[in-house]
């Protein structure tokens, strides 16, 4: 029997909005445009919408799987597939969440090293982040939810930085609309969906929500807000850069921030990168917490030593990833695994769970 979560450890349904949005909006938004626009070019904004719309369907499937269940996805898998196969699938979830954490942290460290402090040691910034992560995780899930809340609210002013390039916008860059085939737009939507992964942590923290089914609308709002932010950034990028320029830019959002001129700050991109640490921290905290909770469900060990072990693994991984190529490979690998989990495994689990429930109630 899955351990029941006590009421004092649960969060209000509306906080799911911040949990979903905070983990989707990571370092990817700083440079996703080049990859997504590579296939669909000026129609890439359509791909952003299509990828976001598909997530609403996947989220519905997730809530149907979790409905009337006593535990998280680890418990559900063991009930459906048995201890052995369910445990193996649970291990996949743990590795996936840890890989997400390492990817986000190492990519952010790369941004800091390239744009601000070229001589900063990877281990130093990684250690600082992971110590802060452990401090947050030591307070339990409610503290993690609070970090996600502040990770959305505090950096909200950075949206204004997205609007500054519109002063130099060429809206005819968006024309002609729908000039690409459905295949190109869908391939671009697939690339875009890699930026949306992460909300599957809902599978783990679902038992920690008061009246969890009431959180469904807030989860949908969280995805909608994420899509609107990405759409705003993509449209601004398309009207600010030419396609030739965009093909050469790794960090299109950061490059656009370089034109921002304010009376009290000369390099706005430095402010943006520094503030983005508040966005990155909830990503790491929630992913590591999900991995620790999943491991606890599998092994029945205490979560704190598991968390320390996982943080050590992430620290080692960030040190071993040296160059741009290795970081790109990790990003691509985690993105593809996330894509197959979202659009392959979750629909499969939904169907199997449906069959399991019908057989069980006969």
Those residues whose C-beta lies under 8 Å from the C-beta of residue 326, and which sit 6 or more positions away, are: none
Q: Which has the minimum average pLDDT: 101-105, 157-161, 208-212, 306-310?
A: 157-161
Question: Is the per-residue pLDDT at 362 higher than 70?
Answer: no
341 pLDDT band, cuts 50/70/90, is very high
Question: Is the per-residue pLDDT at 1 higher than 60?
Answer: no
69 pLDDT band, cuts 50/70/90, is confident
The partner residues of 262 in beta bridges, in order of sequence, read: 265
Q: What is the largest CA-CA distance in the chain?
A: 71
Please give the pLDDT value at position 159: 85
Q: What is the average pLDDT score of the chain?
A: 94
Please give the pLDDT value at position 42: 95
What tokens were used for 354?
Answer: 């449906």
- Look at domain 7-360 and name its CATH class: mainly alpha
Helix ranges (H only) for the chain are 16-24, 33-40, 44-66, 73-81, 83-115, 122-137, 141-153, 158-163, 182-193, 202-205, 216-240, 243-248, 252-257, 268-299, 303-320, 324-340, 346-360
- The arithmetic mean of pLDDT across residues 198-203, rounded, is 95
């Amino acid at each position: 029997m899955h351990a029941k979560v006590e009421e004092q450890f649960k969060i209000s349904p509306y906080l799911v909005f911040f949990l979903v949005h905070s983990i989707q909006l990571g370092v990817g938004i700083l440079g996703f445009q080049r990859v997504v626009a590579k296939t669909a070019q000026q129609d890439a904004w359509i791909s952003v919408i299509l990828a976001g719309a598909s997530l609403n369907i996947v989220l519905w499937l997730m809530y149907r799987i979790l409905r009337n269940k006593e535990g998280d996805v680890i418990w559900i898998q063991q009930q459906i597939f048995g201890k052995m196969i369910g445990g193996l699938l649970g291990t996949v979830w743990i590795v996936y969440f840890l890989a997400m954490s390492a990817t986000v942290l190492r990519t952010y460290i790369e941004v800091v090293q390239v744009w601000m402090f070229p001589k900063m040691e990877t281990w130093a910034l990684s250690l600082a982040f992971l110590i802060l992560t452990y401090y947050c995780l030591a307070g339990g899930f409610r503290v993690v939810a609070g970090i996600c809340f502040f990770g959305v609210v505090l950096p909200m002013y950075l949206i204004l930085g997205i609007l500054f390039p519109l002063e130099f916008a060429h809206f005819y860059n968006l024309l002609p609309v729908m000039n690409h085939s459905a295949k190109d737009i869908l391939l671009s939507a697939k690339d875009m969906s890699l930026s949306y992964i992460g909300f599957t942590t809902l599978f783990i923290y679902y038992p920690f929500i008061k009246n969890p089914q009431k959180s469904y609308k807030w989860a949908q709002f969280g995805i909608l807000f994420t899509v609107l932010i990405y759409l705003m950034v993509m449209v601004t990028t398309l009207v600010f850069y030419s396609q030739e320029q965009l093909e050469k830019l790794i960090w299109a959002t950061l490059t656009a921030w370089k034109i921002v001129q304010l009376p009290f700050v000369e390099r706005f991109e430095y402010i943006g990168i520094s503030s983005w640490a508040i966005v990155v921290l909830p990503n790491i905290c929630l992913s590591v917490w999900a991995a620790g909770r999943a491991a606890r469900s599998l092994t029945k060990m205490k979560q704190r030593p598991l968390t320390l072990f996982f943080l050590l693994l992430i620290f080692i991984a960030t040190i071993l990833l040296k160059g741009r190529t290795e970081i790109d490979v990790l990003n691509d690998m985690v993105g593809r695994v996330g894509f197959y989990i979202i659009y392959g495994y979750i629909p499969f689990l939904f169907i199997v769970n449906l069959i399991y429930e019908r057989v069980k109630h006969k």
